[in-house]
Every structure is written in C-alpha cells, then in structure tokens.
Structure 1
Amino acid sequence: MKYLRVALFGLIAGLIGLANAATIHVPDSFLYNSVLGQIVFGTDTIKCALAPSSYVYNRATHSKRSDVTEITGTGYTAGGQVVTPTVTNDTTNHKLVIGIPQIIWTGSTTITARQLYCYKLTGTASADPLIVFSDFGADVSSSGGTFTVNPITIEYTNF
C-alpha cells in the first residue's frame, strides 16, 4: 500500500460549541489486525466512544481500548455507542473505503469531549482492538442537549 488517505466529512457539533474539522488517526495496529482477521466489519460489533482533552493519543503504542481514557457525563453511557460501518471496494478507483456513520448522543446529554475513537467490542477493554481516532482540535461540549459526531471516511488508496 503506497498511501493511506483519511478524510473527514463534516464537522463535530455540540449544543453550545462547534469544532473545526477534525484530524483523523488510524492506529498502527489497525491494518495488521484487519489482515489477520481480528477485525471483521459486517460481523463484529463496532462501537465508538469519546475521550477527553487529557487523553494523549499514541499511534504506535495505543492499540486496545484499555489504552484510552474515556469521558463521563450525564446522558453518556460508558463504552459509547454501537455503529454499523460500511466497507466499499472501489475497483474503478482502486481504493477501499470504510465509513463510520454519524453518531448522536440524544436527550439531556451534558458532556465535554476532545476525541472520538472506534473499536471492536470483545467484552474486555484490554482485548478490544482500536480502529480509528478523530481529534476535534478543541473540546466540544453539550449542556442538556444533543451531542453529534458527523461521519468519518477512511480511504486506503493505491494498494
């Protein structure tokens, strides 16, 4: 694979804040785990959760959910939400596209987060492999309202 291009479609929005476009990170372990069959989209349960600004992402060493600090707050459930990613094999443009859908925490949600991370659920945080991180660039908050993270697209090109 010559290039890994990651794109974000949309912005991250909370009730009282709007973040700039996010920076997307793919852990070094993700492609390796996928090739070995340890992450299978369409079969495995994939979840996305939120991390605070105090968490410092490390691409090389953070490979499991237990490596990440998760936020707490009213209306937020530990472990995040189940998502259904899409996987498209684009043979015309020679790329593989993984899409993480929009994620919405509804109701009276009062939280502040700096990052979203997605992982395969195994039932044990120390065994849950990480898939992708989205750093909002600044804290995003909701105060008694909805917290929304817009879709993420990961493209593997020229392989």
Structure 2
Amino acid sequence: MTTLADFTATTITGKHKDLADYTGSVALVVNTASKCGFTPQYAGLQDLYARFHERGLTVLGFPCDQFMHQEPGSESEIVEFCSVNFGVEFPMFAKVEVNGEGAHPLYQWLTGAHGDIPAEPIGWNFTKFLIGRDGSVRGRYASDVEPADIAEDIEKELAAAA
C-alpha cells in the first residue's frame, strides 16, 4: 500500500525532503496560493498547526500556480508573504503542479481513490488532505472548507494509534 512515506519533495528553501520523516504524525497536505480568495485560510492552517503540533500534527503547504496564476511569486517571495501576513511556521514546499501530466507524484497519489474517497483532480487552491499516522489518506476537503472545520477530524486522527 502506498503511503505519504513513499514520496519526497523539495522544501521551499530548495532542500530534498523525505516525506517518510512525517511517519507517525498526522498531516494536513494543502495546495496553497498567495493571491486567491481562499488565501486567508493560511491563518486557519497556522492556527491548527499551533494548536495540535505538539500532539503530532503537521501541516504541509504546497504552493501551486495552476489556478488562474494565483501563485506568481518565487519561493522566497512566498516565504516572505506567508511569514509577514500569516506567521506561517509549518513546513512549506517548492511550487508544484497538482493536476495533469506534470503533477507532482504526491498529488498524483492524493487525487487517486482512497477507500470511500473517489479519485478526483484538484478543483482549486486550498484543497486539503488529512493523512493518518499510518500515512494513508483519511479525508479530503474542498477549498471552501475552513481549516477550523477540520479540527474534529484531526482530533480523531491524533487519538488513533499509528
């Protein structure tokens, strides 16, 4: 069975990162953008990270410029924007594509079928995937689902054994 641990990504500062480093944690994987109507969700994502990080949650942000060019900045500009405007402390990664032939392998996997979650391309920025401690996809949330509305599901995953 494929899990989050089977993937690697490039951090927003250009370093190779094995996502296996998050094994045993609950992760919320989000495709982000700085010039989107949902951009204020960065604050809610940071709130979730601050609230649950010590209990084992990490938020993984993947900037994406595939939707109406809403992430035009460089990685350094994205870091500055997230820090200055939202105090983002959770891990951010280099820009990726989330749909199509050029989709990052992680997103090729995330958009596939996972139990009751059907295979479906990413519809817009700030689509969220909840990953259990075992690295499997436990939930998928549309862009319009506020981060705070996922807190109960995060609580359940944090309470579950790896």
TM-score w.r.t. the length of structure 1 is: 0.27
Richer in helix (by share)? 2
Answer with 1 or 2: which has the greater Rg. Answer: 1
TM-score w.r.t. the length of structure 2 is: 0.27
Richer in strand (by share)? 1
Q: Which has the higher contact order (CA 8 A, sep 6+)?
A: 1
